[in-house]
Amino acid sequence: MLDQLQALVAQINDVPVECSVSRFHLPERNRCATLLGRPLAMEEDEQLLIQDGDGEAALALYVDAAVLRRLARRSPLHELCDDNLGDFCTVLEGVSHFQYVVWCAERSRQLSLLELELQGEVDKYAAAVCLLLRQGRHGLARGVHRRLFEDVRFLPGLAADILQRYVEAHRAAAHFCAALERRFLRPRHFRPERWLRAVRECYRRSHHQKLRYALN
């Protein structure tokens, strides 16, 4: 499932898969907590761990094994629905973070945590829309924005700076994705190829360019 969703993100954004995410998967909750140096909250089922050292970065992606087991039983690749949307978003966000960090590192490109979170929000939306369109459920695809950006809550107990970063990334992604939906996915103006082109352009922009582009 991890590699399949990585391939989906790579295909949507027209970027290569430099490293298979499954090779960096950390399934043990206790091991992740040890590496983080703190216990995980009950709702924390995904974490990208990055350790810098000697000019190189070590990566690991924690995704709770129970989440992957549930997705294996009801794959969003076959049918994305209310029963698997939450788990799909959990895994997709982790895969998006991993893919974007590797893509930037291969190009010696710096990135900020805000940019990483913003791209993760856009990738979740784009991947959900793409799957629903492939599954022939165009009406549901137009409802994805509400589900991902309006019916949302943040983890309790977040530090103020972290919460601010999540809120800002969420707000910018919501604005950008709503604009794309209005322009390219309405029934009378259905142009998915233009929608996809705009998603890919956003992926390649730098931190400040991405924010300006998303909020334009």
pLDDT digits (tens, 9 = 90+) for 2-23: 999 999 999 999 999 989 999 9
Task: Please give the pLDDT value at position 139.
Answer: 73
pLDDT band per the 50, 70, 90 thresholds, residue 141? confident
Largest CA distance in the chain: 54
Give the range of the structural domain holding residue 68, as residue numbers without chain letter. 2-215
CA 75, CA 77: separation in Å to the nearest integer?
5
| Residue 45 near residue 63 (C-beta atoms within 8 A) | yes
CA 172, CA 174: separation in Å to the nearest integer?
5
Number of domains making up the chain: 1
- Alpha helices, H only, 142-187: 144-145, 160-184
Give the position of tokens 């990208």.
Answer: 48
User: Whole-prediction pTM value?
Assistant: 0.91
pLDDT band per the 50, 70, 90 thresholds, residue 77? very high
Instruction: Report in angstroms the alpha-carbon separations of 169 from 122, 136, 200.
Output: 9, 30, 18
pLDDT digits (tens, 9 = 90+) for 145-184: 888 988 777 777 778 888 888 899 999 999 999 999 988 9
Question: Helices 192-204 and 2-13 meet at what angle, rounded to 10?
Answer: 100
One-letter amino acid identity for 16?
Answer: P
